Amino acid sequence: MNIQNSVKYTLLSTLSLAVLSIAAVGCGKSVPSTEALSPLTPASVDANAGAWKMIVLTGPTQIPVPAPVIKTDPGYLSELAQIKTAQASLTDTQKSAITFWSAGGVLRWNEYMRELAARQDLPPSPNPDGSYGVPSAANPFANPQYPFSNPPYAARAFSYVSVAQFEALKATWFYKYQYNRASPFKNDSSIQNLMPDSGIPSYPSEDAVESAVNAALLKLLFPTNAAEIDQKAAEQQQVALISGRASASDIAAGIALGNAVAAVFQARAGSDGMKAAGGNAAIWQQLADNAKARGEVPWLSQDGPPRPPMLPVFGSVKGWMLTPADFLAERPGPPPSTSSAQMATELTEVRTVVNNVTRDQLATVYKWADGASTSTPPGHWNMIAVPYIVSANMSEVRAARVFALLDMALHDSAIACWDAKYAYFSPRPSQLDPNIKVWTGLPNFPAYVSGHSDFSAAAADVLSYLFPSGAGYFNAQMQEAALSRLYAGIHYRSDIVVGMTHGQRIGEYTVRFAKTDGAN
Amino acid sequence: MPVFRFMVCIVALLALSPRDVKAQTAEDGIMLSKLKYCTGVFYSYDYWDHYWEGSLNRVNGNIGTLSTRTVEYTGNFAVTDKLNLLATVPYVYTSASKGVLHGQSGFQDLALAAKYKLISVPVHGIGAVRAIVVLSGSLPMTDYTPDDLPLSIGSHGKHIAGRGTLNYLGRNGLYLNGSTEYSFRGNVHLDRPSYYTNGHLTLSDEVPLPNQFEYSVSAGYRKNDTTLTAGFSQQQTRGGGDIRQQDVPFVSNRTNYSKINATLTYPLPRVRDLQYWFLYSNTFDGRNVGQANTFTTGFLYTFDFSRRAGTR
């Protein structure tokens, strides 16, 4: 009996310990989907931002903003009364909206833009006959939905939104300090201030400008989400009002300015070459024929069924900081010939790496996979910038500058990278050696140069300029992102090494602009 | 307990697949008698070429046929006639017949369960009805990723579950069983800082897994260590998003299924206490799961410590 009992108690206590340790981790289901950010009190108001150099606009007054009425005007007084009425009966939803937007609209819209990119990051599904549909901007809800927000698409989208927002906010700052109208809570002491007092004049409202410019461009770029985008914009505008920061006329002027700036960028987006970036069957065939004529093995799609190459003419899309001649001048030299000894050596390295991959290397692969249903590498680098913007307590216009510079460099590196990919049309390792099995989704475009390497080097270069204290970290992230593609078995080392130096050169174009834009 | 002169082990590998980690559901109504230890090894082959992307049944040219092979050690120790303790240790291999994706392999999740017989009521000398409860849990044994589905070997999560079973076993061999389980699943962690599922981008590496409800019924013959039963089971996941069009599955997807299954056990002639097992299951309806066929086979051997302890 003693043996039985001791066995019984040992087993029981072991089991209950195990069950308790499982139960201890089984709690706490909820994971918040938005970032927890503190209310923004900028370290500097950046009162001279209206004089910072423009990128697309001719200057801060390209869009005229009429002077506001004086603060004793009956119309303005009734606007103040409207705020008091609203503040007397704030709902819980309104209070949490105030908390949400008080972190700064620039960060919130960037967060939402990455969500939209991830939502739309789905390749078309094959038809029964093995063909693939093409997303259509004219009919965005059809199957496949428009857009397929792949890395070049997302890079371009982020850059349009971020640059337009930056230009609009510089113009906003110009008029704010020209007219110097104080916030409603300063003009009427019975109005509460429910957001941090930045000391920045309220006309036109920066919140309204952000809501309008973001909404207009996001609806152009991610049209199936229009209803949700409008709802977000309306919420931000309402928060500006009920928090006591802006009056109805501050907001109306902001919306008008934001929409006018957005229209400039909508026009640019309509004629920047993106519509032709998908190419056609004749172009796809020509790319393969060109590679064969050079004596190289041409890239083949390894998707099942084979899929047309991703955006083969994206290399001709209009850049921000580089002209077409600049892009051509920066094009890297050719990859090792598919029949060369160096290629054989690099292929052997890929085979060895994938067959002996460590768990740490796989963690790097998964961290940087950035495949379907993600905000793609450009979105990943926007996410990396966020904590640096937050801890610097940047004004809205300065935070917008970071995203604009970063996303211009990412878009330019996307163009430059895609130009190289289709100039050389080089096969992936798993095409040259069918025994190579890969650890993440195989991208459906040529290998040379690596997109992750190119994007990451351009982004790390710009962020290191903006946040010198983070340079070591950004560089380490770049190395990790780039090498993750070797560990995954989808890139040769030369794709990565050349991609990094190439991306860094592309990033420098934006850094050179940033050094002279008046914001330093 | 002469009814249990032939003891039976409990190994219900009916539902083993990478996203369906329930190595030993302990769902039947039979108890092992005191101080016996039943142990063995099973081999399971699960495969599908069609799967449900949300509710759309389709094939995928980047997967072809997804195969999952599992070798599993299992053990059941009877502390008393009323309390059995069970453990399973699976090693899992996955592979895809088409496309370029690398398979995964490794030790998956250790599953532990305590099975307790609440009551046994004789029915007019023709049989008995038993009510049984099971408390079970699992935890990953290795650092495998749940973020490479459908090739990941599991969800890399911890869970605890409660199960209730009603069973009738007749002296003529009639076997009737009904069982239901609710499983609480802990959050899991990915190697990446954000993920999109169910309509939202979450800026965290932490993923809450929805809880799961499962029930099964089976009927057949069981006598003298020989079993032939057929059954039906269904799992419902209480939340989670669908696999989106042409997307890969995600660890917190709403995975539902309906299965039919059959179980055969047969004692080997002239080899005392050795039993051969064969199980088959077919997933005929589902959501965000493979339309799988699963074959499982193995041997179980029973040691009787009660003889050595001299209590019998």
Chain B residues near residue A25 by CB distance under 8 angstroms: 158, 186-187
Whole-angstrom distance, CA of residue A439 vs CA of residue A485: 9
Can you say how many angstroms the Cα of residue A363 is from the centroid of all Cα atoms in its chain? 22
* Regions in chain B scoring below 50 on pLDDT: 1-25, 311-312
Whole-angstrom distance, CA of residue A450 vs CA of residue A482: 8
Which among A1, A437, A485 is the top mutation candidate for probing chain B, defined by the most B β-carbons within 10 Å of its own β-carbon? A437
Quote ipTM for the complex: 0.93
Mean pLDDT value of segment A500-514: 98
CB A162 within 8 A of CB A168: no
Beta-carbon separation of B79 and A8 below 8 A: yes
Largest CA distance in chain A: 96
Please give the angle made by the CA atoms of A421, A423 and A426, to the nearest 5 degrees.
55
CA distances from residue B112 to B89, B207, B209, B218 in whole angstroms, order as listed? 9, 24, 20, 23
pLDDT of residue A16: 55
- Residue B1 in 3-state DSSP? coil
Instruction: Return the higher-pLDDT residue of A303 and B28.
Output: A303
Distance from CA of B294 to the nearest CA of A (A): 25
Whose structure tokens read 């330093």? Answer: A520
pLDDT of residue B306: 82
Whose structure tokens read 């039976």? Answer: B8
pLDDT of residue A32: 78
- Please state, as a whole number, how many other Cβ atoms lie within 10 Å of the Cβ of residue A101: 27
Q: Across the interface, which of B137, B193, B195 has its CB nearest the CB of A19?
A: B137
Pairing label, strands B293-304, B274-287: antiparallel
Whole-angstrom distance, CA of residue A15 vs CA of residue A12: 5
Which helix (DSSP H) or strand (DSSP E) does residue B159 occupy?
strand B159-170
pLDDT of residue B12: 32
Q: Where are the alpha helices (DSSP H) in B13-138?
A: none
Which among B97, B102, B205 is the top mutation candidate for probing chain A, defined by the most A β-carbons within 10 Å of its own β-carbon? B102
Chain A residues near residue B99 by CB distance under 8 angstroms: 302, 304
| Mean pLDDT for chain A overall | 95
Mean pLDDT value of segment A452-476: 98
pLDDT-derived band at A30, boundaries 50, 70, 90: confident
Which helix (DSSP H) or strand (DSSP E) does residue A164 occupy?
helix A151-179
CB B256 within 8 A of CB B239: no
Structure-block tokens of residue A201: 């004049």
Size of interface A-B (CB pairs under 8 A): 157
pLDDT of residue B4: 29
Residue A255 has pLDDT above 90, yes or no: yes
Distance from CA of A431 to the nearest CA of B (A): 9
Residue A24 has pLDDT above 50, yes or no: no
Whole-angstrom distance, CA of residue A423 vs CA of residue A297: 13
pLDDT-derived band at A14, boundaries 50, 70, 90: low
Nearest CA in chain A to B311: A1
pLDDT of residue B27: 66
Contacts for A79 with CB less than 8 Å, ≥ 6 apart: A184, A247, A248, A249
Which helix (DSSP H) or strand (DSSP E) does residue B256 occupy?
strand B256-267
Beta-carbon separation of B246 and A123 below 8 A: yes
Distance from CA of B1 to the nearest CA of A (A): 18
Q: Across the interface, which of B100, B194, B197 has its CB nearest the CB of A437?
A: B100
Whole-angstrom distance, CA of residue A11 vs CA of residue A219: 62
- Please state, as a whole number, how many other Cβ atoms lie within 10 Å of the Cβ of residue A17: 10
Residue A317 has pLDDT above 80, yes or no: yes
- Residue B257 in 3-state DSSP? strand
A317-320 long-range contacts, CB within 8 A, separation 24+: A317/A152, A317/A156, A317/A272, A317/A273, A317/A274, A317/A277, A317/A415, A318/A268, A318/A272, A318/A273, A319/A411, A319/A412, A319/A415, A319/A416, A320/A55, A320/A159, A320/A163, A320/A408, A320/A411, A320/A412, A320/A510
| Straight-line distance from the first to the last Cα atom of chain B, in angstroms, rounded to the nearest whole number | 12
Residues 419-478 of A with CB under 8 A from B: 430, 436-442
Share of chain A above pLDDT 70, in %: 94
Q: Across the interface, which of A12, A30, A369 has its CB nearest the CB of B208?
A: A30
Whose structure tokens read 């400008």? Answer: A209
Cβ neighbourhood burial of A49 (10 Å; 0-12, 13-18, 19+): buried
Chain B residues near residue A373 by CB distance under 8 angstroms: 195-197, 244, 247-248, 250
pLDDT one-digit tens code per residue, B13-35: 223 333 222 223 366 778 888 99
Structure-block tokens of residue B194: 């954000």
